[in-house]
Chains A and B, each alone.
Chain A
Amino acid sequence: MKKILIIEDEKILGEMYQDKFSQAGFKVILTLEAEEGLVLAKKEKPDLIILDILLPRENGLFFLAQLRKDPEISSIPVVAFSNYDDSETKKQALKLRAKAYLIKTQFTPKQLLEEIKKYF
């Protein structure tokens, strides 16, 4: 069973994606914070990370940077998934080897599921 780590501070949204992905047969780990996300990533070694960018305390870019520094987890594919549509942030995320920078409102959970399947 493939593992997906969702880092999303908006609990309702996180649970929503969790519902959808679980139904689709994924094991979903959910966290609200970047630091915890890093801990979980190391511990659980997920197959894919869905990463919100605007997070409390450390943001998504910080998470990506830290992830890339740690050889143990640096190769886990990450899809940035945020409503923060800023070209500079987008550029940085892609530079930190995010697979894609997706805007939440453009995707229903089903569409997102179809999309991320590309990145495993």
Chain B
Amino acid sequence: MVIYNNSAMTFIDFLVIITGAANFFLGYLVLVRGVKDKVTYTLSGVGFIGGIWAILLFLYHFHIGLPSLLWIKIVYSLVFVMTFNSFYFSLIYPPRLRKSIFLPSFLYLVLAIPLFYTLFFTELWVKDIVYKSWGPETILGPIYIFVCVFWGFFGAWALYNFFRKYLKSAGINRERIKYILIGMFLFISTVATVDGIIPILSGNTKYFRVSPLSSLFVVGFTAYAILRYRLMNIRVVVGRTAIYLFSFVTVIAFGFLLIYLNNQLSVPVSFKVIGPLILVLCIIFFQLFFKIYGKLASRYFYYTFYSYQKVLTNLAKELTQILELDRLANLIVKTLVETMKLDRTVVLLREEKGDYTILKNIGFREENGISLVKDNFLTRYLAETKKPLVYEELSLIQRDAPEGEKQDLEKLKQNMKRIEADLCLPLFQKEKIIGIIVLGTKVSADAYSKEDLELLTTLSAQASISLQNASRYHQVQDLSQNLQEKVAEQTKELQEAYEELKKIDRAKSEFISMASHQLRTPLSSIKGYISMILEGDYGKIEKRAKEKLENVFYSNERLIRIVNDLLDISKIELGKMELKKSPCQIEDILDSCYQEMKPEIKKKNLRFIFKKPETPLAKIEVDELKIRQVILNLIDNAIRYTRQGKIELCLEKKPDSILIFIRDTGEGLTKEEQKEIFQGFTRGSAGIDFFIEGAGLGLYVAKKYLDLHNGKIWAESKGKGKGSVFYVELPI
């Protein structure tokens, strides 16, 4: 086979081949990686057709296999397809903007058929081929101008469609269309110039074979739209491809430069010699260029491709602000789904006991999500390796794994495949695995790249910390909730116990009340009969017997007072004590007490003195009976503790009050007793002691009555054996 006979292969031919390859590659990528739909097929069609076009033109140029005449006719046939494909693309992308595609397609077909006939069966289109030194020249017939108008019309229509869609759309779509529009415009206008205007005006068809180069505009701008505006979700692959392409182009330019320099020499070295040399150099330099572009691309596309830095910064910022487990999980999952373009992911969290629960799930079936951690192999494996586990690497891992693990790995592989999980990301907290994030396949079907894994690892470290914090916060919240419940419970118990006690207390008071009433009946009869005996109602009695009976009478009187006190206390404690206040002459009350107690005091051989101001006091509002009871109790108390000497009942007028005091020459009180004697029999041991002695009760009642009168009662004593003074102060 002769590759070239009358013309040498030049750099341009080389470039055409490269362009063809690039077109193919784009077509292939779009087809394999894109969503399977019309748009994908059409766009990949642009690539494939562009590639075939370049190759056919190459074959035409060097009339390989077939004569150039036939090749050019095949090329033109392809242009029919290519034009329609581009036009069709303008109709369907972006979808839903155009109602009907049938009519325009039909129109195209109707017009194409006669032209197609003309191409193959007449000389009206392609007359002949003339081989020139630079290659084959196509002699075009008169109809060619119509062909150009036909294609030009549909090309312009396609551009018009894109332009209209560009105007109508907004946002990211608008940007995408803009780049496709620019690419298409450059492509169509170049082709129109090289293959239409120039041949028609000058008959020059020399540049036919370079027209596929212009399809690089479509490829380039589409690739840009893909990269920058995520046109097809194949950014990473396209990004890589772009780097390859740039490297290629640079290497080719470099090769071209060498060829050019060689041609400048007075005696150029034969291409046959320098060709392989340049090729070797190109291969060597290709590596260098690839690295340089890779660096540039990663610097520039960091934002557009991955924007990992931004993802991580934003995530870190937000993570620190969230303490609720649910919101945290939502944020992590959202970030993962948006960054990685996933349709499924699940966050599994390890409980205290080692079981896993689903914290957040998108896309996976619940039982599938949890099935991964059912056998402990995965968690154990992740805990050991501390690295993300990628499904695609499992086969390799399996190959190198020890025999024992192979089966487990196989099971894991099958399970991951079954549930369409692509990656397992362990979450660690100080060497301990606290959870796993399972990621599904990317929407683009791209593999997880090295950059992805780096991002995911960093992200998982951040997520771990936040999840741990949130989980602790949760625990603390639970704890405080528990604590609150406990406190409430115990408060309730205490409340109940208190209510119970109150009931018991009430029962006690009621019991005392009832018992006292019943005690009063025999007391009444003792009092009555003894008084009548003493009065001689039942006959004369001996003087000695009379004395003893008087003692019985006074003892009975004391008993009556004690019962009265008990009744009063129970009344006070039941809240039934009511004061019946009326204006009273306080001297009269004291005088009646004095008269009542005089006989008893006299019998004990004590002196009893009543001192009152010379001028009468004004009346004050008191409950006479209660005040009387207070004074009687105090005098009774004084009698009990005084063996000799005197008891004084005194009344004094103070600026805002009336002061009554009972001074005795009795046993006196210690400092402690002075404080405690009013505290009553229910409170503490001192009270009980007093109760047993039969005193204290009256003092307690006295204190209660004074409280009800807003008065005061207190005792003073210079100590044991030195007598005491009991004070009662009533406000005026």
**B202 interface contact, C-beta 8 A:** no
Pick the most buried of B524, B563, B567, B578: most chain A CB atoms within 10 A of its CB: B524
State whether A16 and B521 are in contact (beta carbons under 8 Å apart), knowing that A23-B537, A85-B567, A87-B578 are contacts in the complex.
no
CA distance A10 to B532 in the complex (A): 18
State whether A13 and B532 are in contact (beta carbons under 8 Å apart), knowing that A20-B537, A23-B537 are contacts in the complex.
no
**A12 interface contact, C-beta 8 A:** yes
A106 proximity list for chain B (CB < 8 A): 560
Q: Mark A98-120, 1 if CB is under 8 A from B, else 0.
A: 00000111101110000000000
* Total count of chain B residues near the partner, CB < 8 A: 19
Check A83 against B532 for contact (C-beta < 8 Å): no
A84 proximity list for chain B (CB < 8 A): 517
Check A104 against B578 for contact (C-beta < 8 Å): no
CA distance A12 to B531 in the complex (A): 15
**A63 interface contact, C-beta 8 A:** no
Q: Mark A57-76, 1 if CB is under 8 A from B, else 0.
A: 00000000000000000000
B528 proximity list for chain A (CB < 8 A): 13, 16-17, 20, 108-109
Check A12 against B567 for contact (C-beta < 8 Å): no
- Identify which of A13, A23, A87 contacts B525 (C-beta below 8 A): A13
**B535 interface contact, C-beta 8 A:** yes
State whether A110 and B521 are in contact (beta carbons under 8 Å apart), knowing that A23-B537, A105-B563 are contacts in the complex.
no
- Identify which of B520, B537, B567 contacts A19 (C-beta below 8 A): B537
**B523 interface contact, C-beta 8 A:** yes
Check B532 against A109 for contact (C-beta < 8 Å): yes
Per the 8 Å Cβ criterion, residues 19-50 of A in contact with B are 19-20, 23
Smallest CB gap from B513: residue in A: A86
CA distance A71 to B521 in the complex (A): 33
**B709 interface contact, C-beta 8 A:** no
* Total count of chain A residues near the partner, CB < 8 A: 21
Check B537 against A12 for contact (C-beta < 8 Å): no
Check B517 against A104 for contact (C-beta < 8 Å): no
Per the 8 Å Cβ criterion, residues 566-615 of B in contact with A are 567, 576, 578
Check B531 against A83 for contact (C-beta < 8 Å): no
CA distance A43 to B144 in the complex (A): 153
Check B527 against A85 for contact (C-beta < 8 Å): no
CA distance A109 to B567 in the complex (A): 23
Check B560 against A108 for contact (C-beta < 8 Å): no
Q: Mark B514-544, 1 if CB is under 8 A from A, else 0.
A: 0001001101110111011001010000000
Check A13 against B576 for contact (C-beta < 8 Å): no
Min Cβ gap A27→B in Å is: 18
A83 proximity list for chain B (CB < 8 A): 517, 520-521, 524
B523 proximity list for chain A (CB < 8 A): 105
Smallest CB gap from B563: residue in A: A105
Smallest CB gap from A17: residue in B: B528
Question: A-side binding surface: helix, strand, loop or mixed?
Answer: helix
- Identify which of B535, B563, B567 contacts A110 (C-beta below 8 A): B535
Check B560 against A20 for contact (C-beta < 8 Å): no
Check A87 against B532 for contact (C-beta < 8 Å): no
Smallest CB gap from A111: residue in B: B531
Check A13 against B521 for contact (C-beta < 8 Å): yes
Min Cβ gap A119→B in Å is: 19
B527 proximity list for chain A (CB < 8 A): 105, 108
A20 proximity list for chain B (CB < 8 A): 528, 532, 537
CA distance A106 to B560 in the complex (A): 8
CA distance A104 to B520 in the complex (A): 8
A17 proximity list for chain B (CB < 8 A): 528
B578 proximity list for chain A (CB < 8 A): 87
Smallest CB gap from B553: residue in A: A108
Min Cβ gap B632→A in Å is: 12
Check A16 against B520 for contact (C-beta < 8 Å): no
Min Cβ gap A23→B in Å is: 6
A110 proximity list for chain B (CB < 8 A): 531-532, 535
- Identify which of A13, A23, A54, A86 contacts B524 (C-beta below 8 A): A13
Min Cβ gap B482→A in Å is: 50
Check A108 against B517 for contact (C-beta < 8 Å): no
A108 proximity list for chain B (CB < 8 A): 527-528, 531-532
A87 proximity list for chain B (CB < 8 A): 576, 578
A103 proximity list for chain B (CB < 8 A): 520
Pick the most buried of A10, A104, A105: most chain B CB atoms within 10 A of its CB: A105
Smallest CB gap from A109: residue in B: B528
B537 proximity list for chain A (CB < 8 A): 19-20, 23
A105 proximity list for chain B (CB < 8 A): 520, 523-524, 527, 560, 563-564
CA distance A83 to B206 in the complex (A): 141
B521 proximity list for chain A (CB < 8 A): 10, 13, 83, 104
A16 proximity list for chain B (CB < 8 A): 525, 528-529, 532
Min Cβ gap B523→A in Å is: 5
Smallest CB gap from A86: residue in B: B576
CA distance A10 to B519 in the complex (A): 13
- Identify which of B524, B529, B535, B567 contacts A104 (C-beta below 8 A): B524
CA distance A20 to B528 in the complex (A): 10
Min Cβ gap A115→B in Å is: 13
CA distance A54 to B537 in the complex (A): 28
CA distance A10 to B525 in the complex (A): 9
Pick the most buried of B523, B528, B578: most chain A CB atoms within 10 A of its CB: B528
Cβ contacts A to B, 5 pairs, < 8 Å: A13-B521, A16-B529, A54-B517, A83-B517, A105-B563
Q: Which 10 A-B pairs have the closest CB atoms?
A: A83-B520, A108-B531, A104-B524, A105-B560, A16-B528, A109-B528, A105-B520, A105-B524, A12-B525, A105-B523
15 additional A-B residue pairs with CB within 8 Å, beyond A12-B525, A83-B520, A109-B531 = A16-B528, A16-B529, A16-B532, A17-B528, A23-B537, A54-B517, A83-B524, A85-B567, A86-B576, A87-B578, A105-B527, A105-B560, A110-B531, A110-B532, A110-B535
